[in-house]
Structure 1
Amino acid sequence: MGKPLEGIKVVEVAMWAFVPVAGGMLSDLGADVIKVEPPTGDPIRGLQIGGTEGGKRQLDYSWESYNRGKRSITLDLKQEAGRAVLMKLLEDADVFITNLLPPARRSMGIDADTLRAAFPKLIYASGSASGPNGPEGEKGGYDAITFWARGGVSSSVTEDGAERPVGPPGPAFGDSLSGSMLAGAVSAAIAKRAMTGEASEVDVSLLGTAMWSMQRFIAQATDNDILKFPRPADMKPYNVLVHNYATSDGRFVALCMLQADKYWARFCEVAGRPDLAADPRYASASARRENLDACFTDVKALFASKTLAEWKAILKQQDGQWDVVQHVGEMKDDVQVQANHYLQRVNYGDGTEVPLVSVPMLFDRQALPTRRSPGLGADSDAVLEGLGYSEDEIIDLKVQGVVF
């Protein structure tokens, strides 16, 4: 099966996670992504978070996840000779992606106006903190502050009266969502250019993506002039069949049966409590809301009386929507994860494998295979040779400290 972006060349001048996530996704979709790194490498290479048990192999899981399948060339873009190599790279490129701040781009001559004037067919894609326009258009940011905090996500999941706001659930949470959005914008720009011949400049921001993810609350708060929606510690559900319930063995089951009256009687029956369905206090959705305290107490006690395994067997007997609140370490055993190849094991090159989450897009019901991330400058010589540089010229660039 061919990949949808085969034949597309992407040049990436970016670091950390946001825009590299987009490059990694484009790579998995089939594009040839050439990552241009400074002599010291993308700083995320040194952001070690965990490793294999026993220390037999230390992995930069962030690096491996966000830079899958790319080719790496090291260039000192502060030198004119380094920028000259970059210009040759861009001669037949389709897309340029970056998250360098605008002043740095202008100083290197890789800002949108300069590159689009030199290469009219080049799609220029940038990842920004809070959008390219406005008084803070040139200000930087990170997902933990710009996406999670400024974007209204943190305050919306933090209980009222908490000592501190809830933090992101894992590394690069907002970066991963924003990078995926940027990859989508680039793909749309590729389609637009194919149909109209017009190349676009596109930008996706951490703030804008956070707002997109929170759009329902933001729209309502704006329309009704509400500062925030309350989130009490003992929040009760409006519908008792839409809630996360604790089981007797300390796990949780998530219910999302929005059409409560459609599912209530059958749920009570399979749960061994037909008396709850027969109780006139709980006979309808409106009745259950009128007697919410009692109904919620009864349903909580019901779930607390059985283990997760028991509830899984019970809930499979009815048509209502539910699922288990899973831990990340359980994902590898999820039957749907396995069937759809959402988690792949990638050859690491030393006889071992690296588990990587695949791009969540299936084409013709097939998952797209992914590849490992490159070593620093691993492809410098090959990329330069492909641009027509001779062996002596490559050695000279290395002597000058342009290529490492």
Structure 2
Amino acid sequence: MWRQAMGRILEGIKVVEVALFGFVPSAGAALADWGADVIKIEHPETGDPVRALSSYGFGPGDGGVTTLWEVFNRGKRGVGIDIATPDGLELLMCLIDEADVFITSFMPSARERLGIDVDQVRARNPRIIYGRGTGQGPDGPDADKGGFDGISYWSRSGASTASVPPGYDFPILLPGPAFGDIQSGMFLAGGIAGALYQREKTGQGSVVDVSLFGAGLWAMQATIAGAAAIGADNIVQLDRRRPPNPLTNLYRTADGHFFVLGMLQADRYWSGLCAAIGHPELAADERFTTLALRTEHAEACVAALDAIFTAITYDELVKALDSQEGQWAPVAVPGDTLTDPQALANGYVQQVDYPSGARLPLVPVPARVDGDLPTLTPAPTLGEHTDEVVLALGRSEEELINLKIAGVIS
């Protein structure tokens, strides 16, 4: 059973984030979930563009919340600073003086121009962990090119073409907004956690680099290696009508519910599955008695299972499959996860309440230590914590007002 821990693993760590959109901010969200104090720096007037971003049929304010903003920025403190001004840059550097981690998604030229590149930041704080999120990586001919997850993570890595089902003649687009951003952000957060551990041993700060392209290649590495091993551009794309193992395949019930069998040790489970679904005679069919034979006669085996499954309801299927030992799962739509008893029992989805009365389901960081599960809180409004953060730097109320009048802070 999950529990609320008294002290989370990054409690006491201060993170300064200068980043836009989804990739690097999602790393900041993971660090905040682990207990770090993450200070999100935004332009005092325009803010992070994701505040106004519409995607996949939903937009800012739908359901009383701005969904993408909340996903990437929950649990942070928000400060509005124009870091392109001398006074704004000095405020940022004062925060960096006290920080353990600095993370950014800005391009190399922008970092240099603004005075926040590696050498400039580490000149102020040599012990800081500097985290960079890029499109294609810090080196090579495309190091200075921007990237988004649909471009760098999904398309350039080969994931888009590897997802194409038989008979479809176009690559597949991302399955949802920020799919690659969120995976890559978790990698950056993990790298930062490792760098913090190294600093404890050596006293030295580090530069942590994660790119969308590199993260996509990591996800695709089994496919890349497999294709190379057979001397091809891609591995064989599975066809559910003729799978190499009919017990690792998609099926449908009489009332239209999809489910997937995932029985990799097929010979171990075959007879038990046939008995559970009321057809023990299928296990003795000479075409299907071993995995090798089921592979040879895959189309006939799938047709036989299709005939059985499409004759029973989903409730009947659940009872049957839960009575045998082989692995299986329903094929969910995203909304199903909100009531999935396993997700609820483990705290994998958490409802966050907002002052407006709105509620939004968010997913906590998946890596839990000693059962710790964070209490997720709303993302900050633009400049919500500017006053408290600037005053904590030792600035007076008069200085605060003057900075606001000059447009340096919000």
Question: TM tier, shorter chain?
Answer: over 0.9
Q: What TM-score comes out, normalization by structure 2 length?
A: 0.94
Q: Which residue of 2 aligns with 1:211?
A: 217
Report if the CA contact (8 A) 2:253-2:311 is conserved. yes
Report if the CA contact (8 A) 1:72-1:377 is conserved. yes
Distance in 2 separating the partners of 1:234 and 1:253: 12
Distance in 2 separating the partners of 1:254 and 1:366: 31
Equivalent AA in structure 2 for residue 370 of structure 1: L
Report if the CA contact (8 A) 2:40-2:79 is conserved. yes
Is 1:374 the counterpart of 2:349? The answer is no
Report if the CA contact (8 A) 2:263-2:327 is conserved. yes
Provide closer, same or farther for how the CA distance between residues 291 and 313 of structure 1 changes in structure 2, counting only shifts above 3 A: same
Among 289, 295, 298, the residue aligned to 1:289: 295
Report if the CA contact (8 A) 1:51-1:57 is conserved. no
Is 1:144 the counterpart of 2:150? The answer is yes
Q: Which residue of 1 aligns with 2:11?
A: 6
Distance in 2 separating the partners of 1:281 and 1:160: 25
Is 1:238 the counterpart of 2:238? The answer is no
Provide closer, same or farther for how the CA distance between residues 211 and 122 of structure 1 changes in structure 2, counting only shifts above 3 A: same
Is 1:167 the counterpart of 2:182? The answer is no
Q: Which residue of 1 aligns with 2:106?
A: 100
Provide closer, same or farther for how the CA distance between residues 358 and 234 of structure 1 changes in structure 2, counting only shifts above 3 A: closer
Distance in 1 separating the partners of 2:405 and 2:39: 22
Q: CA-to-partner distance for each residue in 1:237-278, whole Å, 9 max, x for gaps?
A: 111100011111111111110111100001000111111111
Q: Which residue of 2 aligns with 1:184?
A: 190
Equivalent AA in structure 2 for residue 99 of structure 1: S
Distance in 1 separating the partners of 2:298 and 2:165: 21
Distance in 2 separating the partners of 1:31 and 1:103: 29
- Structure 1 residue 222 displacement after superposition: 2.7
Q: CA-to-partner distance for each residue in 1:273-313, whole Å, 9 max, x for gaps?
A: 11111112211112222222222211122221112211111
Report if the CA contact (8 A) 1:21-1:67 is conserved. yes
Equivalent AA in structure 1 for residue 317 of structure 2: W
Provide closer, same or farther for how the CA distance between residues 76 and 146 of structure 1 changes in structure 2, counting only shifts above 3 A: same
Q: Which residue of 2 aligns with 1:395?
A: 401
Provide closer, same or farther for how the CA distance between residues 227 and 298 of structure 1 changes in structure 2, counting only shifts above 3 A: same
Distance in 1 separating the partners of 2:233 and 2:58: 42
Distance in 2 separating the partners of 1:17 and 1:56: 19
Among 312, 321, 331, the residue aligned to 2:318: 312
What stretches of structure 1 of length at least 5 have no aligned partner?
none
Q: Which residue of 1 aligns with 2:355?
A: 349
Is 1:156 the counterpart of 2:153? The answer is no
Q: Which residue of 1 aligns with 2:3?
A: none
Report if the CA contact (8 A) 1:277-1:283 is conserved. yes
Provide closer, same or farther for how the CA distance between residues 235 and 178 of structure 1 changes in structure 2, counting only shifts above 3 A: farther
Is 1:26 the counterpart of 2:31? The answer is yes
Q: Which residue of 1 aligns with 2:227?
A: 221
Helix, strand or coil at the partner of 1:280: coil
Provide closer, same or farther for how the CA distance between residues 305 and 5 of structure 1 changes in structure 2, counting only shifts above 3 A: same
Q: What TM-score comes out, normalization by structure 1 length?
A: 0.96
Among 254, 267, 281, the residue aligned to 1:248: 254
Distance in 2 separating the partners of 1:335 and 1:142: 34
Q: How big is the alpha-carbon RMSD for the aligned residues of Structure 1 and Structure 2?
A: 1.7
Equivalent AA in structure 1 for residue 156 of structure 2: R
Distance in 1 separating the partners of 2:310 and 2:236: 26
Q: Which residue of 1 aligns with 2:122?
A: 116
Is 1:273 the counterpart of 2:275? The answer is no
- Structure 1 residue 319 displacement after superposition: 0.5
Helix, strand or coil at the partner of 2:362: strand
Q: CA-to-partner distance for each residue in 1:105-156, whole Å, 9 max, x for gaps?
A: 0001101122123311011001010110001111100011111111111100
Report if the CA contact (8 A) 1:120-1:199 is conserved. yes
Report if the CA contact (8 A) 1:340-1:366 is conserved. no
Distance in 2 separating the partners of 1:318 and 1:379: 55
Report if the CA contact (8 A) 2:240-2:249 is conserved. no
Equivalent AA in structure 2 for residue 247 of structure 1: T
Helix, strand or coil at the partner of 1:16: coil
Q: How many residues align?
A: 402
Provide closer, same or farther for how the CA distance between residues 97 and 158 of structure 1 changes in structure 2, counting only shifts above 3 A: same
What stretches of structure 2 of length at least 5 have no aligned partner?
1-5
Identity of aligned residues (%): 45
Q: Which residue of 1 aligns with 2:41?
A: 36
Distance in 2 separating the partners of 1:116 and 1:161: 53
Distance in 2 separating the partners of 1:392 and 1:235: 73
- Structure 1 residue 163 displacement after superposition: 4.0
Helix, strand or coil at the partner of 2:218: helix
Helix, strand or coil at the partner of 2:199: helix
Provide closer, same or farther for how the CA distance between residues 13 and 235 of structure 1 changes in structure 2, counting only shifts above 3 A: farther
Distance in 1 separating the partners of 2:407 and 2:197: 39
Report if the CA contact (8 A) 1:362-1:368 is conserved. no
Q: Which has the higher contact order (CA 8 A, sep 6+)?
A: 2
- Structure 1 residue 351 displacement after superposition: 4.3
Equivalent AA in structure 1 for residue 303 of structure 2: T
Consecutive aligned runs of 4 or more in structure 1 exceeding 4 Å deviation: 49-52, 232-235
Report if the CA contact (8 A) 2:93-2:124 is conserved. no
Helix, strand or coil at the partner of 2:87: helix
The correspondence of residues 194-209 of structure 1 with structure 2, limited to 5 A, is 194-209=200-215
Equivalent AA in structure 2 for residue 146 of structure 1: S
